[in-house]
């Protein structure tokens, strides 16, 4: 019985650590992975003021805001999100091996290291935003 419980704990620990998204509680200003936040479309503003703010585990403050230069490169950042989650594009379709996380709609994906965020609306249209981090 002890062997079964031990095996279960090992497998559970392994499966929980295999994702490509960082846990919200462990996000720092240097986190390299994407962090997923649910956000209402009505909370997004396009006037250059921050519309999303979170305190990070290292004491930094992360804010997300609209930026024309980042917006122009939205397709680039959208592609990076998919690739960083383990997907590849073949003939216009995103494919991955079994078990890879797929980006969800109505979510803001933030990458603190890259200082960029990608939002997918309910129709899976993407837009990208600048991330500022204040220490």
Residue range 61-79, pLDDT digits in tens:
999 999 999 999 999 999 9
In-domain check, residue 13: no
Which is nearest to 120 in space by CA: 62, 79, 67?
A: 79
Residue 57: domain span:
21-134
Which is nearest to 54 in space by CA: 36, 80, 33, 77?
A: 36
In-domain check, residue 16: no
pLDDT per residue as tens digits for the range 45-65: 999 999 999 999 999 999 999
* Residue corresponding to tokens 């279960």: 8
CB of 19 closer than 8 Å to CB of 31: no
Domain count, the chain: 1
Query: What confidence score (pLDDT) does residue 7 get?
Result: 47
What order of strands is seen across the sheet that includes strand 116-120? 35-38, 107-111, 116-120, 126-134, 61-65, 52-55
* Gap between the Cα atoms of 92 and 109, Å rounded: 21
pLDDT per residue as tens digits for the range 85-114: 999 999 989 999 888 989 999 999 999 999
Query: What confidence score (pLDDT) does residue 26 get?
Result: 86
pTM of the predicted model as reported, rounded to 2 decimal places:
0.80
In-domain check, residue 42: yes
In-domain check, residue 11: no
* DSSP-assigned letter for residue 103: P
In-domain check, residue 130: yes
């Amino acid at each position: 019985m002890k062997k079964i419980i031990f095996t279960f704990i090992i497998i559970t620990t392994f499966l929980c650590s295999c994702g490509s998204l960082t846990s919200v509680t462990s996000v720092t200003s240097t986190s390299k992975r994407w962090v997923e936040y649910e956000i209402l479309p009505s909370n997004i503003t396009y006037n250059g003021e921050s519309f999303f703010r979170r305190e990070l585990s290292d004491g930094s403050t992360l804010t997300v805001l609209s930026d024309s230069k980042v917006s122009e490169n939205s397709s680039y950042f959208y592609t990076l999100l998919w690739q960083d989650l383990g997907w590849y594009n073949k003939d216009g379709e995103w494919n991955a091996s079994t078990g890879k996380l797929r980006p969800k709609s109505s979510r803001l994906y933030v990458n603190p290291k890259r200082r960029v965020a990608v939002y997918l609306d309910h129709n899976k249209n993407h837009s990208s935003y600048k991330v500022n981090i204040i220490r």
